[in-house]
Structure 1
């Protein structure tokens, strides 16, 4: 690759990364990625840095026929926190499972591999995997977004997913076609998040 081609590729990659925007799951509709595209997305995730190649994270895909069951886990988690939750609040909790054509949970295992590799490093590796996946989804012209919340830490939710004691549900990741976008939020300026020691 010539120097001119490198500069052009760098400029294009920089613009593409900067143009990625989080899209809330309620704004993500069908069609979502097909099986071949999903495979590509996970191959991009697999390129994340991974100390000792322990693969401390995994994606739990929630297929269409399991969405209602996941919705019940969200509702149970809400009742675990607030026994007086209204029927409307419970329906809103259930509805979280029904958005976006591709829905998955990111799970990090703090016990997998060497105990010398800190949980923070495992979560950072998982974050890199997510970003790789989201950037490729953006390149495929899909939108994506992350959501989290107290439900992911609820005992009933964890038990319903069959998570082990060392496993942490970090966030939900949704991918689909963008139905509408919010105005683009400005990025922080570089001096806001850099310092010279």
Structure 2
């Protein structure tokens, strides 16, 4: 394997969104990072996914939805817990929402294949961001599955929010992840 590809694949690690700060990607870098998604395998050329960029001007609305979703689940959430939920919307300079689209006029392509395509698109984004020297992390949580999120982003019945992707400069990092050995995930039949 090419040394650059090996370093890129094995060097990238998850960075918590709360550890990512400015500067984020420039407009040109962001475009290149997002264009990496379109190299994902896409059986049937159906584009079963999309990415929504959450601009700074929209983060307060997202934070409010995070807070209200918490209160829907836990009416006794403390003010500190509500504030923490709200502040999650402000982490990292580039915040994307990965959305699966299951609508398909061709019923031969399964939901699983569409999710795999989205997963590959996400990995391409993460690797592209890392190639520029940025850290990145994925996040989800129960608010992501709330009706409030569906309403905020006006999802169709065929769309499902999968995860947020945060990209930025690593401000603080934990020691590297211990990766599993090959024998932990590989067998021969």
Q: Deviation of residue 15 (structure 1)?
A: 2.2
Q: In structure 1, how many angstroms separate the alpha carbons of the residues matched to 2:105 and 2:168?
A: 33
Q: CA deviation at 1:82?
A: 1.6
Give the Cα–Cα distance (whole angstroms) in 2 for the partners of residues 68 and 53 of structure 1. Answer: 36
How far residue 141 of structure 1 moved from its aligned partner, in angstroms, is 0.3
Q: Does 1:40 align with 2:32?
A: yes
Residues 54-85 of structure 1 show CA distances to partners (whole Å, capped at 9, x for unaligned) of 00100010000101010011112112212222
Distance 2:144 2:31 in 1: 26
Q: Secondary structure at the match of 1:171?
A: strand
Structure 2: unaligned runs, 5 residues or longer: none
Measure how far apart 1:191 and its partner are: 1.3
| Number of aligned positions between the proteins | 189
Q: TM-score, normalised by structure 1?
A: 0.92
TM-score with structure 2 length normalisation? Answer: 0.96
> Match for residue 142 of structure 2?
150
**Alignment partner, residue 177 of structure 1:** 169
In the alignment, does 2:93 pair up with 1:101? yes
Does residue 70 of structure 1 match 2:79?
A: no
Shift of 1:110: 1.1
Corresponding residue of 2:120: 128
1:111 equivalent in alignment to 2:103 = yes
Say which of 53, 69, 81 aligns to 2:73.
Answer: 81
TM-superposed CA distance for 1:118, in Å, is 1.1
Q: Separation in 1 of the partners of 2:54 and 2:92?
A: 11
| Structure 1 vs Structure 2 CA RMSD | 1.1
1: distance between equivalents of 2:176 and 2:90?
A: 25
CA displacement at 1:113 relative to structure 2:
4.3
Distance of 1:80 and 1:164 partners within structure 2: 22
1:27 maps onto 2:19 in alignment = yes
Say which SS state the counterpart of residue 181 (structure 1) adopts. Answer: coil
Q: Which runs of 5+ in 1 are unaligned?
A: 1-6
Deviations 1:102-130 (A, max 9, x none): 00100001113422211111111111001
> Within 1, Cα distance between the matches of 2:34 and 2:94?
13
